[in-house]
A and B are shown apart, each in its own frame.
Chain A
Amino acid sequence: MRRWIESLKELCRYPSAVAGLSLILFLIGLSIYTVITIPYSEALDKWRGGSQWQMNPINAGPVWLDRITGGNKPETLLIRSATSPKERVPFEGGYQQRSILEFDFYYDDFPSELNLFLTTKNSSRETFIQLSWITPSGAKFLLGNQRIGENERVSISQNRALESRLGLVPHIGLFAEKDEISGKAVVSKGRHQLVVDAILFGEQAELNADLAVYGRVHGFAGTDHQRRDLMLALLWGTPVALAFGLLAAVGTTVTTLIIAAAGVWFGGWIDAVIQRLTEVNMILPMLPILVMVGTLYSTSIWLMLGVVIALGIFSAGIKMYRAMLLPIRESPYIEAARAYGASNTRIIMRYMIPRILPVLIPTFVTLIPSFVFLEASLAVLGLGDPVLPTWGKVLNDAQTQSALYNGFYYWVVSPAILLMVTGLGFAMLGFALDRVFNPRLRAQ
């Protein structure tokens, strides 16, 4: 324990180690927070998409990015009839209800979409509704009337009749006024009202109307083409990336090391077989094999991890470890251990491997991000895990949706930054560790 604290102190003398360590700690903290607040099953369920995201805008950017660049784009507004003024006029067999969904709109940009979600309960016949919109200037537009079922989504944005009347898509047309100087359409600020007149059949019948005025910015990370909050994928990508990187690095390093040590210790045909396998494996290209497995078999991240480790067992590292272990095998203390009857396993595990661990730790640390990147590359190639949200999957979605062409930079940049931060953190720590463990590399 004392030695660990001392090594840590030694490490703290290197600024790059401190920076790298804090980046890694930040990522680990983020992972723990994510796993606790968003359980795995919930994350998978949410990432599958669907109606749970229906109140989110499509392809909205991050709020903070818009605000620090001086923008004032709208966020999503949700107006619920439950909290809005209502008037009821009963008649025989039912009643007439007028709900006024009103909201103040002071943003500098138009909303991205308008949707009205209607639900009815206990109705003996289909409810009849009539919708009209009152702009801040007092202009009143009739949006149409229709019968609705129990669960109905009225997409005001797709109201073609209204669109042709306004000359613009409704979510712009309803919010626009002509600027006197430039003649362009600008946002008319003030109070908008959506009047929902409904005729309900049945004494107990109820109508609930929720108006979603979708914004152009959303949350910390924005949303994608399926209205999913990218924050979910960015958060969950962290533990997935770290776990993948760490497991793959541990898996390959440990197995490689043990195999190299066993080959060196036993020598003879065992060593020869290991060396030949390594030589064959070294020229096998890893990525195409992974692509093949992903295409033909399964893209589960755990299978990929298994294949990565399996291919990594007989990797070039064996050659390096072998070179380092060969002189150790001949050292007198190994012979002494043999003299007092230490078993082969004991000699390999307790006498040979610990000798090269110090050299190994920096390599191991710098190896972690390379596996993180490998996982991301696979996902970008479309071989990401189909159910798990990862950084690579976000990049893949962004690519298929032409995010950069459409100007959704946040969609590409945020997972890329996280990947870079991961690589940077581990690389900085690894280089500092290298200097701690290999004093010859220290600056004179």
Chain B
Amino acid sequence: MTQDQSTLLEVEDLKLYYKTRRGVVRAVDGVTFDIRRNEALVILGESGCGKSSLAKALLRLLPRNIEQFAGQIRLGGVDLMALSDNRFRREVQWVRVSMVMQAAMNAMNPVMKVGEQVAEPLRIHLGWSKERAMQKAAESFKRVGVSTDFLDRYPFELSGGMRQRVVLAMALVTDPELVIMDEPTSALDVLTQASIMNVLKRLKKELGTSFILITHDVATSSEIADRVALMYAGQIVEFSDASEFFHHPAHPYSKLLMASVPRLRQSEPPEYIPGQPPNLLDLPLGCRFADRCPSRFEKCQKDPELFKLNARRRVKCWLHQGGEE
């Protein structure tokens, strides 16, 4: 399909802070990345590092307790931050950028037939008639490999993998340019995970859609990833091509993370990273990983910037201050 290599989404210094009783939580703290058309970006990170907040910020699904929401988001050259809520809802949400929610197993209205639900975005956003929307929903079902017999079922009548596909069908029904998936396979068995990953790969090839896949599952994500962004404590610490990242991680955290992924027929126990990620309420002034970093030195007391390793590789670590590897 389209082999257009232009940049689709550019995010620059995105900040999303929450207000809580105990202080300000800096869930997303100055995130910068970009994604091209027909590219799959995997955002990796441990629990609580701000991955889901980032996804919500991109779709402007903000909770009430917002302290700060700032930065630049440009989708195909359009400045999304400048759009009013209403225009954003009409022109971007689900029409250009759609989302597969975390816990997709529960992301469906239990009292609505799944077909109707998949058709909902079309009816809400594009004002399509029920018949037309249902037809499109059936197409979308076929696309993700679910029989159209299931259109008239209720969510509880579907298995977990089936539900996941239906949620994916719902995200794809409006033909968006970008689909954000928040932990799409976290609650599924490996076989189902594999089959969903295959569906995603096929869709990427057939439709030319870009994907942002948010996960903590390094192994599964390597299946589809073109690009990888690794998040730590609300920031992206490494952003590079997938093959480079998986084979030659640059940031100390990336190295430790890759080493902690268990492998088949591995004799020694997988490594782990000592310590806990910092509290997002009370972040250290310098490098946020410094406390757990085996190769820390004096400079780590100051916050490193993103150093450019090559054209599309950035690492936030003083070790790479020189730039090229």
Contact = CB atoms under 8 A, between A and B. Distances in A.
Q: Is the interface of A mostly helix, strand, loop or mixed?
A: helix
A333 B105 CA distance: 9
A355 B111 CA distance: 7
Given A339-B99, A341-B89, A333 B121 contact: no
Q: Size class of A's contact patch? A: 20 to 34
A139 interface: no
Interface in B60-94: 61, 64, 89-90, 93-94
Contacts of B111: 354-355, 357
Q: Size class of B's contact patch? A: 20 to 34
Contacts of B107: 332-333, 335-336
A340 B120 CA distance: 8
A343 B89 CA distance: 10
Contact of B102 (A332, A337, A338, A351): A332
Given A335-B61, A335-B101, A350 B109 contact: yes
A85 B99 CA distance: 98
Nearest to B155: A333
Interface in A57-109: none
A29 interface: no
A333 B106 contact: yes
Interface in B93-140: 93-94, 98-99, 101-104, 106-112, 120-121, 124-125
A176 to B, nearest CB: 76
B146 interface: no
A342 interface: yes
Contacts of B61: 335, 338-339
A336 B124 contact: no
A268 B65 CA distance: 12
B109 A332 contact: no
Interface string A326-362: 0000011101111111110010001100110100000
A56 B307 CA distance: 106
B133 to A, nearest CB: 12
A268 to B, nearest CB: 8
B281 interface: no
Contacts of A339: 59, 61, 93-94, 98-99, 101
A267 interface: yes
B124 A342 contact: yes
Which of A335, A351, A355 gathers the greatest number of chain B CB atoms within 10 Å? A335
B124 A343 contact: yes
B89 A332 contact: no
Contacts of B64: 267-268
B98 A340 contact: yes
Contacts of A332: 101-104, 106-107
A351 B106 CA distance: 13
B94 A337 contact: no
A340 B108 contact: no
Interface in B35-72: 59, 61, 64
Contacts of B104: 332
Nearest to A346: B124
A340 B93 contact: yes
Contacts of B231: none
B101 A342 contact: no
A121 to B, nearest CB: 72
Contacts of A333: 106-110
A396 B90 CA distance: 62
B280 interface: no
A336 B101 contact: yes
Which of B64, B93, B101 gathers the greatest number of chain A CB atoms within 10 Å? B101
Contacts of B89: 341
A341 B93 CA distance: 7
B74 to A, nearest CB: 20
A91 B110 CA distance: 96
Contacts of B99: 336, 339-340
Contacts of A351: 109, 112
Nearest to A339: B99
B170 interface: yes
Contacts of B59: 339
Given A332-B101, A335-B61, A340 B124 contact: yes
Contacts of A355: 110-111
A340 B109 contact: no
A335 B102 CA distance: 10
A419 to B, nearest CB: 36
Contacts of A346: 124
A331 B137 CA distance: 23
Interface of B: 59, 61, 64, 89-90, 93-94, 98-99, 101-104, 106-112, 120-121, 124-125, 167, 170
Given A267-B64, A340-B120, A340-B125, 12 more contacts: A268-B64, A332-B104, A335-B101, A336-B99, A339-B99, A340-B121, A341-B90, A341-B93, A342-B124, A346-B124, A350-B112, A354-B111
20 contacts: A332-B103, A332-B104, A335-B61, A336-B99, A336-B101, A336-B107, A337-B109, A339-B59, A339-B94, A340-B93, A340-B94, A340-B99, A340-B170, A341-B89, A341-B121, A341-B124, A341-B125, A342-B120, A354-B109, A355-B110
